[in-house]
Structure 1
């Protein structure tokens, strides 16, 4: 498997190659209304002005979306990926994005485009007394001239996109990555559409049953991710998982535990070892959200290249 090295720590100089900046909303673009709620109101031009970036650092800047990233659909993501892929043919890209679903977009960018694409955002709104967005955007432009694979830049840290997860709701350093030193090469550099494919995440918990697994299958899921117990046990979800596998639906096992990998070694009807023999895939150290997006990307590539492949 071809792998890529992890990025170095942030530098402090503007990029030597002009960067395209694409904006999608998120907290970095939010201001606080009279009712105390935050909504994205700042444009990409506003963000660049707030960050006091030199004019020579930016080739092009435009607003692609203007939303809270928790509301982003696969159709929105398809539009965004098309914009990123087109801009990437001209050089590095910086993407401002809400942190809620940033790890999912980061995985899609990594799997379907690759190259020097930097995602950034903010934990505090633009009208905060001490906003973190301008500094993050400056660091992102610096990173764009230095990295060779997609990364998230937040709180003075560069986090590889593949394996990234949000680890804190308010801290400046919102993201971390538990993976080892390398990530797989992209699946493609011409992203196929994700819309129309369905991959669901089902959680394992005490007192649950296989109802939600079966419901996902009945709803047309082309794949399922299980947020499992411990190192990969699904407990009473097992009958539903096995029924999904019998229908040719890929199932990825992740863990609901914040630290540590999936290790499918336990026996018994809900144990990971039994399901591994049936063909489930380990999500390793990926979060359930990133494992879902990786599976979606794989299914989308298969659907494009082998139209008789996954249902969707």
Structure 2
């Protein structure tokens, strides 16, 4: 535990690893997890904040599993119930938006749960981890962040978990929010809110399951009729997410395959592969359009990108949600 001089706030740091706790064997060489880097990061003094640390894992974000997030959620709840003003979770950036979204489904405390990471290893010149951590801790301790749920803090911006996406695979300004933009910014020691946000979607009780049902994502495209579905034995899928073209469209030839799944009771959610704008429910009515898909029984993902739509469907299936409950849950993100 590291405590700043005369702390006025208490924040718990929960770590899962990622680039923020990686170092390079030599300048410009490959980065890998480094337990000592995590310890150095966690030992940073942040004026006015008592920082307590708990390591869950030290893995790349491509290796984060539901059981890691369940453990992080339970630790975060415990910390707040024992008096922490907020919680910071360090995480790799590749799947950070998905973990933040999943945690938001279950985060039921007024105190903020803030997720952050880094694009540059701890040993790299201009490493962004220390500044991101400082900003995340400031946000977790800020009264302005209370009630906003799970937040992502990166490059001095504050993002809502339901809206944030990783917009660059290289830039230190890696995250963006659509359609509303960041909900806040870090100005020195101050957290400034830029807009009130759309309000939080309904939370689910409990915590994520240790394992999720099988729900793959398929991307639609030119000359793609989703014929891969013909090779799957019956009962293979618990659900399916399509990253459709445009406002959530597939080819006419793909429709019989999707109708077969829907008639067999397999929920199909259609998102869009386009970065902004979301899916529609009423613009087009040709074969394979959003109207055709809705009439067949598919659900439109609205503003949710395919990875988040997949997670929401998996969580709902784990909770044995009915088709109507699934539909209503996605309507919260309608566009």
TM-score range, shorter chain: 0.7 to 0.9
TM-superposed CA distance for 1:85, in Å, is 3.6
Q: What are the Cα deviations for residues 283-312 of structure 1, in whole angstroms up to 9, with x where unaligned?
A: 111111111112222222337xxxxxxxxx
Alignment size in residue pairs: 288
Q: What are the Cα deviations for residues 207-262 of structure 1, in whole angstroms up to 9, with x where unaligned?
A: 22333345567463222111000011011432222122112222211111122121
Query: 1:122 maps to which residue?
Result: 118
Q: 2:25 aligns with which of 18, 33, 39?
A: 33
Contact in 1 for aligned 2:215/2:239 (Cα 8 Å): yes
Structure 1 spans left out of the alignment, 5+ residues: 1-13, 304-312
Structure 2 spans left out of the alignment, 5+ residues: 1-5, 181-196, 322-335
Q: 2:101 aligns with which of 98, 107, 130?
A: 107
TM-score by length of 2: 0.78
Query: 1:167 maps to which residue?
Result: 167
Q: 1:253 aligns with which of 270, 273, 281?
A: 270
> Residues 110, 213 of structure 1: CA spacing in aligned structure 2 closer, same or farther, 3 A cutoff?
farther
Query: 2:46 maps to which residue?
Result: 53
Query: 1:275 maps to which residue?
Result: 293
Query: 2:193 maps to which residue?
Result: none
CA–CA distance in structure 2, aligned partners of residues 193 and 178 of structure 1: 28
* Aligned positions of 1:223-262 closer than 5 A: 223-235=239-251, 236-262=253-279
> Residues 103, 93 of structure 1: CA spacing in aligned structure 2 closer, same or farther, 3 A cutoff?
same
SS of 2:125's equivalent in the other structure is coil
Contact in 2 for aligned 1:94/1:144 (Cα 8 Å): yes
Query: 2:280 maps to which residue?
Result: 263
* Aligned positions of 1:136-215 closer than 5 A: 136-146=132-142, 147=145, 148=147, 149-180=149-180, 181-214=197-230
TM-superposed CA distance for 1:28, in Å, is 0.4
Contact in 2 for aligned 1:113/1:190 (Cα 8 Å): no
Query: 1:7 maps to which residue?
Result: none
Indicate yes or no: 2:101 matched with 1:84.
Answer: no
CA–CA distance in structure 2, aligned partners of residues 67 and 139 of structure 1: 22
Q: Which region of structure 1 is more displaced relative to structure 2, 206-215 or 123-132?
A: 206-215
SS of 1:221's equivalent in the other structure is coil
Indicate yes or no: 2:54 matched with 1:62.
Answer: yes
CA–CA distance in structure 2, aligned partners of residues 15 and 47 of structure 1: 18
CA–CA distance in structure 1, aligned partners of residues 155 and 215 of structure 2: 31
SS of 2:247's equivalent in the other structure is coil
Q: 1:19 aligns with which of 2, 6, 11?
A: 11
Indicate yes or no: 2:305 matched with 1:287.
Answer: yes
RMSD between aligned residues: 2.4
CA–CA distance in structure 2, aligned partners of residues 123 and 219 of structure 1: 40
CA–CA distance in structure 2, aligned partners of residues 54 and 302 of structure 1: 46
